[in-house]
Amino acid sequence: MEVEQLKRKLRELKKSEKRIRFNYGSTSSSMKYIWDDYFSTKSSNELTVKYPLWKLIELKEQELEEVLEEYFYKVYFQHCRENGLNFHDIYDVEVLSVFGLDPGAGMEDIKRRFRELAKKYHPDHGGDNDKMIELIDAYNKLINKE
């Protein structure tokens, strides 16, 4: 995908987020776009976003689709949270990423992956104590829907 085409697509994504989360209304200073954490059309912001422009350009079509899927899961998750909706099968994608899981992962996937990683990182088996604590915190957030 060429740079200008990608920039247009990214701008459209931000407009879509505005429609979904803010209904074209003005955003208050406390309401930040998820887009601002994920993307940028300027090279000066490349260290502050998850997917800088140069990285997106290098992605294959399937990989780009996965990035966009992750982004929209996060947008809808935030929209639900902001509107007091509690969906039991939607989990925070940032927390899921600790487990290396896709945004559409279910509770069984989370439990299975937690057990796998717990075996790997448990300090009693030569694992990393800090990583184990991070896993437990992430697991508790997913289980308790914090």
Task: Annotate 48-93 with DSSP letters as a single string.
Answer: TSSS-HHHHHHS-HHHHHHHHHHHHHHHHHHHHHHTT---TT---H
Q: How confident is the model at residue 29 (pLDDT cuts 50, 70, 90)?
A: low
pLDDT given for residue 89 in this prediction: 58
Q: How confident is the model at residue 146 (pLDDT cuts 50, 70, 90)?
A: very low
The closest of 24, 52, 54 to 40, measured between CA atoms, is 52
The closest of 105, 98, 104 to 140, measured between CA atoms, is 98
Tell me: do 78 and 131 sit in the same domain. Answer: no
Tell me: do 8 and 67 sit in the same domain. Answer: yes
Residue 127, pLDDT > 80, answer yes
Give the 3-state secondary structure of residue 71: helix
Does 74 reside within a domain? yes
Tell me: do 35 and 101 sit in the same domain. Answer: no
Choice between 94 and 66, residue whose per-residue pLDDT is larger: 66
Q: To 5 degrees, how large is the angle CA 68–CA 79–CA 109?
A: 60
* Count of domains forming the chain: 2
pLDDT given for residue 113 in this prediction: 92
Residue type, 88: H
Tell me: do 65 and 126 sit in the same domain. Answer: no
Domain's final residue, options 56, 82, 108: 82
Residue 50, pLDDT > 50, answer yes
CA dist 15 and 143 (Å) reads 33
Tell me: do 76 and 99 sit in the same domain. Answer: no
Q: How confident is the model at residue 41 (pLDDT cuts 50, 70, 90)?
A: confident
Domain's final residue, options 82, 101, 120: 82
pLDDT given for residue 8 in this prediction: 93
Tell me: do 77 and 9 sit in the same domain. Answer: yes
Q: What mean pLDDT comes out for the span 109-114?
A: 90
Going by the DSSP 8-state scheme, the letter that residue 31 receives in this structure is -
